[in-house]
Amino acid sequence: MAENLLKSLNSAQTRCVFHVVPCSIIRVLICLVRTGVTHRPDSPLQILAGPGSGKTKVLTSRIAYMILHHGMDPSSICAVTFTNKAANEMRARLVKLVGKDSVNKVKLGTFHAICALFLRKYGTSVGLDGNFTICDSDESKRIVTKLLKPYSDFLASNDIQVNAATLCSLISRAKSKGETPEDVIPRKGSRHISSKATSSKSTNEDFQRVFAEIYRDYEKTLRKNNSLDFDDLLLFGVRLFSQHPRYAAWCQHILVDEFQDTNAVQYELMCCIAAASRCVTVVGDPDQSIYGWRSADITNLGKMRNDFANVAQIMLEQNYRSAGSILATSLAIISQDTSRIAKTLHTDHPLGPLPMLSSFPTEHDEAAFIAWEINRMIAQSGGMLGFGDFAVLLRFNAISRTIENALRKEGIPNRMLGGHQFFERAEIKDILAYLQLVDNPHFEPAFSRAINNPSRGIGDKSLGEILSRAQTLGISPLTLVERIHDSIIPDLKPSVKRKVQSFVNVIRSLRSSATDGMEPAQLIAKLLERIDYQEHLKKSQPDWDTRWENVQELISFASDATADASNVPVVDGDESSLQDTPLRRFLQASMLSSAGDQSNENDNEKVSIATCHAAKGLEWPVVFVPAVEHGTFPFYRSDDIHEERQAFQRLLYVACTRAQTSLYLTHTSNRKVAGVSKSRDLSEFISKICSKHPPLFSDMPHTHSIQDLRLVARILDRGSRMPDELEVKRRMTMLCVVCLKSLEDCN
Ligand SMILES: Nc1ncnc2c1ncn2[C@@H]1O[C@H](COP(=O)(O)OP(=O)(O)OP(=O)(O)O)[C@@H](O)[C@H]1O
């Protein structure tokens, strides 16, 4: 088999590109023969792959194989990832395999990015302007907040409590199921959306009517603003490809990563793109489906087997990541779900120390233990492990405060993964608002943010006047203030003409520079100078220097986005699409940037704190999972307790399988929830497997004997960093000295 593969790789079809493929890569491809890489590309394939089984490697190798062996045109291949980060990772690996020119032709990105790419070019076919703005969740919430206001009395009088965030997530849920506002209008005998907002059937109907109206008006507002929210990108994508199949005719094969977390609309999108070829490869792990709350549909795997003919299924059950005992424990957790597709995992790695299961009186003791244990392990590993090798994975963000405090106390550098996102920061949104307005004058959220930022003396009353006058005249608020400025229409009351002068001048100057092709980084620099933004931050923000650094970071991001422009796949061989300007590309990259996309150089010298959801796809040598308690794992929110229970089981499984060499599960007998101390029981997912033989857990910390260290070195491929005994002794002595000193300080 391997010989055949070598022969075929050397065939006439591939000889032209063969010179770019080193022997090591061919060896990798040969190793992957049985993993789905070489499965014929003209038929659908499902690769069910367990954690740590090298899914990215399989997908990238399969794409390379299609190009190198089957001579497929790279521009006829579509590869979909769950995050931008995964897309970048795949792109970098593919460049090594097939070269940059070919990779740039592959349509590679998230579903959102791929839809945005085609909608920019062909959006007019589905009623869009090419300069639509992508509305982020914060802006959606502002729109819904405004729409909710007129209903507040009615809702209060009917004892219905609902806020904008809940409505936004209900709208998103409806959209991801493909439901329009008309579909959610209550009808006789129809099933209502389940919401904690209401208690009785009649209030439920009232609530649903309000919801349908707000959903309808939200859609109208977005269209008026020439804007799409994240769900719209997918819905309009489906509309584009289904109504105009010629726009997807280029696709000979679509490959989808993390298939278990696709929702109904994403599935439909995949089918539309594959309409002509019917060739799809999906890679996924039903055991790692953790985005049900975002409408991910685990049943898509079964649906695909019905919708496509002759779907082959391959299981990847070798885990390359974790020590044997970590796998055994993780499998025991997930195997309690008897309804799952039976799948096992094995590894060539040794068993290693058993995962530790430990109980503490309170969350403070638990956090102190984690901090102590990190320092101890680093010392006892003689420095082979560093802070960046540790992760604390949480069910809720809220638990992080105690952990962060404990780490800080011990001087342990840490970072919150996927915490407050870079593009959600106020200073970044301020700058983006100006640029959005330059690109799309109809985008009202950007206008409302920029007009009085920095302050120009335009308060809420004046802003309200501007917005309502613009609405009456059927023009955008920006056009209105430009016309007032140019004395084409009379001033408002209170007078705004003088106040908007500098604003209009800034926008016009930026617009003219953007039209002349000025790069986004320079546009930002120009904007900062024109509005004297640094001075504004100094006057208004105590932490202005950090915020100013963030703004500088945005300039770096903008120049990187420009440099990466060659990564944007070409649609239809037309490289100079009129709809695609450098500014638009930069704005799109900012809006589609997702959790964990930005990372700093020294991040790998810090302990990572992350939610279990944000940890998806990542790995660390040592993982702590605190609060493994009933009320956390599982935490019931909806009526469907059975489904929720399984979802939490999978979440715990995902968390445990992030660990490479050491896993710690901790729990407390008392934990403060909303300021009240409550007694807690060990999670049933663990208590039911605690007494298994041979045991799955130890109650002792990992000793890091010399054998343990060898194992760590082997799994992490750090043989060259094996410490000598003297170094271990030196570090342990230092740790004891520091410990004694802090005990003395306490006394
Ligand atoms: N064929 C292989 N041989 C050796 N190591 C591998 C191989 N494939 C992957 N690895 C290594 O195994 C680890 C897990 O790989 P990867 O993160 O791609 O797995 P995954 O299937 O995406 O896992 P998960 O679904 O849990 O996120 C990585 O450290 C990777 O470098």
pLDDT tens, position by position, 175-191: 988 899 999 887 655 54
Is the pLDDT at 426 greater than 70? The verdict is yes
Report how far residue 107's alpha carbon sits from residue 110's, in angstroms, rounded to the nearest whole number. Answer: 10
Q: How far is the CA of 54 from the centre of ligand 1 (A)?
A: 3
In sequence order, what are the residues at sequence separation of 6 or more whose Cβ sits closer than 8 angstroms to the Cβ of residue 478? Answer: 437, 441, 442, 447, 507
- pLDDT band at residue 604 under the 50/70/90 scheme: confident
Q: How far is the CA of 288 from the centre of ligand 1 (A)?
A: 15
The mean pLDDT value for 672-683 works out to: 82
Is the pLDDT at 565 greater than 60? The verdict is no
2-123+243-316 is a CATH 3.40.50.300 domain: yes
- pLDDT band at residue 733 under the 50/70/90 scheme: confident
DSSP secondary structure letter of residue 519: -
Closest ligand 1 atom to residue 35 Cα is: 1
State phi, psi for 699 to the nearest 5 degrees.
Answer: -100, 10
Report how far residue 225's alpha carbon sits from residue 219's, in angstroms, rounded to the nearest whole number. Answer: 10
Max mean pLDDT among 144-153, 573-582, 695-704 falls in 144-153
- pLDDT band at residue 641 under the 50/70/90 scheme: low
Threshold 0.90, pTM exceeds: no
8 Å CB contact between 318 and 344: no
8 Å CB contact between 52 and 321: yes
Extract long-range pairs of 422-427: CB within 8 Å, 24+ residues apart: 422/550, 422/553, 422/593, 422/598, 423/136, 423/590, 423/591, 423/593, 424/136, 424/138, 425/547, 425/550, 426/547, 427/537, 427/541, 427/547, 427/548, 427/550, 427/551
Is the pLDDT at 1 greater than 60? The verdict is no
Q: What six digits make up the tokens of 36?
A: 């789905």
- pLDDT band at residue 637 under the 50/70/90 scheme: low
- Selection from 229, 225, 164, 151 nearest residue 448 by Cα: 225
Percent of the residues in the chain that have a pLDDT greater than 70, as a whole number:
86
Closest ligand 1 atom to residue 654 Cα is: 26
- Selection from 341, 345, 342, 337 nearest residue 321 by Cα: 345
Q: How far is the CA of 52 from the centre of ligand 1 (A)?
A: 4
Q: Determine if ligand 1 sits within 6 Å of the CB of residue 608.
A: no
- pLDDT band at residue 437 under the 50/70/90 scheme: very high
3-state secondary structure of 671: strand
Q: What is the pLDDT of residues 475-532, one digit of tens each?
A: 999 999 999 999 999 998 888 999 999 999 999 999 999 998 899 999 999 999 999 9
Q: Hey, which of 37, 320, 619 would you mutate to test ligand 1's pocket, going by the most ligand atoms within 8 Å of its Cβ?
A: 320
| CATH number, domain 423-560 | 1.10.486.10
Q: How far is the CA of 62 from the centre of ligand 1 (A)?
A: 15
The answer to whether the Cα torsion of 17, 18, 19, 23 is positive or negative is positive
- Check residue 357 and give its pLDDT: 96
Q: Determine if ligand 1 sits within 6 Å of the CB of residue 618.
A: no
- Check residue 636 and give its pLDDT: 59
Q: Is the ipTM reported for this complex over the cut 0.90?
A: yes
Q: What six digits make up the tokens of 483?
A: 């016309």
Q: What six digits make up the tokens of 649?
A: 């089981």
The mean pLDDT value for 57-79 works out to: 94
Domain 2-123+243-316 shares a fold with domain 423-560: no
Helix (H) or strand (E) holding 39: none
- Of the two residues 283 and 42, the one the predictor is more confident about is 283
Protein residue closest via CA to atom 30 of ligand 1: 54
Q: Determine if ligand 1 sits within 6 Å of the CB of residue 49.
A: yes
- Check residue 598 and give its pLDDT: 53
3-state secondary structure of 316: strand
Helix (H) or strand (E) holding 322: none
- Check residue 564 and give its pLDDT: 58
CA angle 433–439–440, rounded 5-degree value: 85
The mean pLDDT value for 696-715 works out to: 86
675 is in an annotated binding site: no
Is the pLDDT at 456 greater than 60? The verdict is yes
- Check residue 589 and give its pLDDT: 85
Percent of the residues in the chain that have a pLDDT greater than 90, as a whole number:
52
- Check residue 577 and give its pLDDT: 46
324-413+606-746 is a CATH 2.60.40.10 domain: no
- Where in the chain are the domains? 2-123+243-316, 133-225, 324-413+606-746, 423-560
- Architecture category of domain 133-225 in CATH: Orthogonal Bundle (1.10)
Q: How far is the CA of 95 from the centre of ligand 1 (A)?
A: 19
Helix (H) or strand (E) holding 390: strand 390-394
- For the chain, what is the mean pLDDT? 85
Residue 138: CB atoms within 10 Å: 14
Is the pLDDT at 571 greater than 80? The verdict is no
